[in-house]
Structure 1
């Protein structure tokens, strides 16, 4: 093999790992993030930048990787409202996988090259040809080993990470410790592999042959530790979500029981007033007959106050939804939120009032909280009920700040707020999942539409006989 041919092969071999790394980085990104078109643009920029800096400018890998990290973090800074935790973790995880894969591949390469060049005759006419050929074969084995190890490492992550999850900074640090350790160990090993010393060169693998198998063992242990940390954290996250869900459902049941009691008390008060109305009329007639008009006026005012306390602004025809909607209206009014309602349910034996209560509680609570983040003149909520054939459509539209964080594979958008439970983040996503569960129970669906600063949720329920 001539030097020209070898140089061409070497250039191709330099391009290949760049493309491989970008592809596998995108795969890892898809594991932890929702797939987005914007990441393809980032991938293109990374490819062009790395190829130009690596081949033409011949910049060292550390500069290329630093520039790549800056580009990715810049994209995340703009895309995810400064939430960089998960992006930092993915970068450190990928760099660790790259470094560990290289160290294993390098051990295989060292063993292979030694056997390839052993026995070469310096005086042979084909010596130069065989040297270049051996170097090309060695590079091929290095890249093949690197590819296989990196694919296996990435594949295991794909296997154990079932769906994307949120990360806070403390969790990012916890999961990234071994990534940093792995990258540092590989860097130190590479620096020590060839060392200039007085009177010659120290070659690590020549003087310490056992390092050819000790270093790969260290690599495997670091990798297993990192994968175990991800697996344990994912299970912890799952248990945490179950605890959150249980807590939310418990609070919703308590709230619904309270609403039902309020509805019962309200209609009980109406029945009592109706029952006492004859007595009130008799008293008024008596005062009129006695020409005590001032007392009549005072009596009527007190009676009117009593009736006003039992009057609802919105009447839906259903005791439970009356209480819930008017309660949310009071909260919205106190917060300066415009609250419009077109909701006439009536009494129904096809959909449980308790289930409708869960839907209204979750959607209206989320809408009120979203509006509270805006200026008062921008706050509004529209609640609508539509009936079509055997279906009910409940729509809640509200203004919000336009910032959306998608989690759990993009099923529901989510915001976070502190709960009464220690170390737990309550998520709107949990409430919306409960709404979706109710919709699924009635063979319906939940649809979320976001346009600029308008958030709209539509819940479709199929009316069926309650058993």
Structure 2
């Protein structure tokens, strides 16, 4: 099947310039009276033009099918990478949890030894240090542990780049939308915002605000971030060529949703609305 398609593609590509040259040659020969069958000229030219249009239509549908498969493969690859990343992080978390349990055992033995010698000063200092370390725990945004993990991961990434990251999540636990689809949407949106903020001067305020809200049966995602207004032209190019934006728009389109973006001053706004994501039981719950 592939060889047949490849052969037809080559024939179509070669046929168009060959037939164009043939038509041009016939026209020249007709003008200089080297061709005595002028009655057949319109028939020959019509047949050639029809054949060329068939070739062009074939190439169009072939390329359309190719790019559709490419977009699907790109999306699947993105999903696979996000799932692989999650499982790697999950495995790392399990490893860290085992290490924490081992450390806790040693810490309890140390506290027991200090208590046996009535060394309350060192016990107090040790417990204060332990409490300070607990201040760096992840935030709790939602009951969906996958979404909670993703948002915390993006927040940690934003913190590394000195970006103020604020997220508000108001969702039911269950929805008809697969977690990996939501991960692609949020992951790409937040990554784009972080990249835009990283291009700003170091002394400028950098902030991301994201709202994820269940509105009746629908899902609303709103994100705002600062950006360099001089990048408006370059941003349009990135939006038309960037895989991340294309994946977002494709997912929104596949779920019959609405994707909007606009600019106010130096703030870039993105809004996504997906319809009929939650059932009535989820709302009542």
The question of a shared fold, defined as TM-score above 0.5 by the shorter chain, is answered with yes
Alignment of 1:21-60 (within 5 A): none
Corresponding residue number in structure 1 for 2:219:
392
Structure 1 Cα separation of the partners of residues 173 and 143 of structure 2? 10
The answer to whether the Cα contact below 8 Å between 1:256 and 1:357 also exists between their aligned partners in 2 is: no
Verify: 1:450 aligned to 2:275, yes or no: no
Q: Give the structure 2 partner of residue 463 of structure 1.
A: 278
Secondary structure of residue in 2 paired with 1:450 = strand
Do structure 1's residue 340 and structure 2's residue 166 form an aligned pair? yes
For residues 179 and 372 of structure 1, the distance between their equivalents in structure 2, rounded to whole angstroms, comes to 49
1:349 aligned onto 2:174: yes
Structure 2 counterpart of 1:416, from 234, 238, 241: 241
Whether 1:360 aligns to 2:186 is yes
Distance 1:380 1:324 in 2: 18
Residue 332 of structure 1 aligns to a residue in which SS? helix
- Aligned-pair CA distance for 1:296: 6.0
Q: Cα 1:391–1:280, aligned 2, differ >3 Å: closer, same or farther?
A: farther
Structure 1 CA distance for aligned equivalents of residues 24 and 251 of structure 2 = 47
Provide the aligned C-alpha RMSD in A.
4.7
Instruction: Say whether the 8 Å CA contact 2:224–2:270 is kept in structure 1.
Output: yes
Whole-Å Cα distance in 1 between the matches of residues 186 and 51 of structure 2?
Answer: 47
Q: Secondary structure in 1 aligned to 2:232?
A: coil
Q: Answer 1 or 2: higher relative contact order, Cα 8 Å, separation at least 6.
A: 2
- 1:420-456, Cα deviation, whole Å (9 max, x unpaired): xxxxxx462134312443x45xxxx233132366241
Determine the structure 2 residue equivalent to 1:301.
129
- Unmatched segments (≥5 aa) in structure 2: 1-11
Q: Which residue in the other structure is 2:209 paired with?
A: 382
Given the two structures, how large is their TM-score scaled by the length of structure 1? 0.43
Equivalent in the alignment of 1:318: 144
Partner of 1:291: 119
Superposition pairs of residues 43-442 of structure 1, within 5 angstroms: 178=16, 182=20, 189=27, 193=31, 204=33, 208-214=35-41, 217-218=44-45, 220-222=47-49, 224-225=51-52, 227-256=54-83, 258-259=85-86, 262=89, 266=93, 280=107, 283-284=110-111, 286-288=113-115, 289-291=117-119, 293-294=121-122, 297=125, 301=129, 304-305=132-133, 307=134, 311-313=137-139, 315-335=141-161, 337-345=163-171, 348-351=173-176, 352-372=178-198, 377=204, 380-399=207-226, 401-403=231-233, 414-417=239-242, 426=243, 428-437=245-254, 439-440=255-256
| Partners of 1:356 and 1:219 in 2: CA distance | 53
Give the Cα–Cα distance (whole angstroms) in 1 for the partners of residues 189 and 241 of structure 2.
15
Q: Which residue of 1 aligns with 2:6?
A: none
8 Å CA contact 2:252–2:274 kept in 1: the answer is: no
- Supply the distance in 2 between the matched residues of 1:253 and 1:270 (Cα, whole angstroms): 25
Alignment check: 8 A CA contact 1:414 1:429 kept: yes
| Rg comparison, structure with higher value | 1
Report the CA distance between 1:341 and its aligned residue.
1.6
Question: TM-score, length-normalised on structure 2?
Answer: 0.64
How many angstroms apart in 2 are the aligned matches of 1:256 and 1:300? 38
Structure 1 runs not aligned, ≥5 long = 1-173, 194-202, 407-412, 418-425
Q: How many Å apart are 1:394 and its aligned residue?
A: 2.0
Q: Is the 8 A contact 2:197 2:206 kept in 1?
A: yes
User: Number of paired residues?
Assistant: 260
- Alignment CA distance shift 1:362-1:459 (3 Å): farther
Q: Give the Cα separation in 2 of the matches to 1:399 and 1:179.
A: 51
Please state how far the C-alpha of 1:179 moved relative to its aligned partner: 7.8
Change over 3 Å in CA distance of 1:397–1:190 after alignment to 2: farther
- Would you say the 8 A contact 1:362–1:435 is kept in 2? no
Measure the CA separation in 1 of the matches of 2:39 and 2:200. 62
